[in-house]
Structure 1
């Protein structure tokens, strides 16, 4: 897109999960791929989409052209099932539910597995968290890494740097604040690309260092080919038609987009990891995602 080209669109506020970029791969033959067989990427929109009318000025000097890689999760349902069974000491006859309809394996434990992508989760009821002897952040990170390695959940050398968050009770004023569990979250990249959507490993550490939740929502992957990128006019049409996701930290009316890169996007119920355009501004507080594949 050309500098000082002004486009005024009515855009809604939509949340996105991550911002980043990857390098464009050189053009390779993608004729062996049946583009139409790849599920169309649907990027979720937030309920606030129609709250604010935005003017967006696009000031990118150029956009990526040619092709971008397409990846596919390496799915081994037998291995994932075995991991869950060993981790939770489950009888092989116990049925494991889906991500949308998990199985209750006890009165406070739930587990679900997506059989198309191999992603799964284990969760305990928060009501049973007591906050007794929850490990500090450093110890919790090590417990999480040890758990991932013990059950071969994901290659430890590909996890990336951990991020942490806490679930607490009490407001620190009327009653003391207490940490109930610590979430240790890893966001692996895919061939050097940051991944939007849902692509993470999360281990939750509770009382006495117990594992109270596991999210295995990232998989090892393979590159299955290269796909053609959309043109400038394709991107404009997608935005006009509302086929995008917008995050704006300040809920401003006037936005100026200055940079465009290629990210990947992962849907937890799809085996494909697909390219998206990540359009940002100089302040780094705005991100527009548009499906990058020309179909």
Structure 2
């Protein structure tokens, strides 16, 4: 009974220091103790953790603390105007970096790994960050199409080639389609009208003036002109009596583009001649309708005169 009591009293005394010693050793390994190894890492105990370059580099490698790579992405927009060029942008992947391996410090060679881990944990090393800027170019291609519309107006053409726009040009129907008038204070002609013996035809228009002279017009409205088309005006004429009397025939197409064209006496008598010139007179029509007027003028006091005209022509 007494022996049991003694043992019960002795056992708690013997067991308590052993547990405390074991707990104390484990606690020391789990906490940051300023032992000789830590003093090797930080001799002054005042350096900031980030400035302990050699110890930080060693512990980062020993503990496999990675270098965190942070990518800063920027985008540059470029607008280009093109019609046939294509651009392709290829972005290469960025390689992850780790902290470089560092040789063991001289003072670490005598310590086991657990002591090294404990000492390194005292440095409070945090993963370092490396910033990499990746710039991508956003190319915007703009294609501009310019459309130009040109309207071409075709040149006017002669609708009916070699067609005479003059009605009753050879007076085979008398004065049909024609108008005859005297003008001004001139003496009326002594005779006028369709007569025989035309130019290569049966009839022609004839006008005679006495010694007093005369002034008269022969006219016709001409239709079917095409503005912009070039036409030819022509006729035949002759003097049947004296050529010494100052006289003239002047023809024009009012509203149609033909200015006054004149012939005067002076050729051989009773001979057909081309008027107003040897090959006719060309003009460009300015309207669709014109008034053809031929003025016959003879000066008085020089004797009688007779004209003949035939085969009037306006065509293209």
TM-score by length of 2: 0.19
Give the structure, 1 or 2, with the largest relative contact order (CA under 8 Å, sep 6 or more): 1
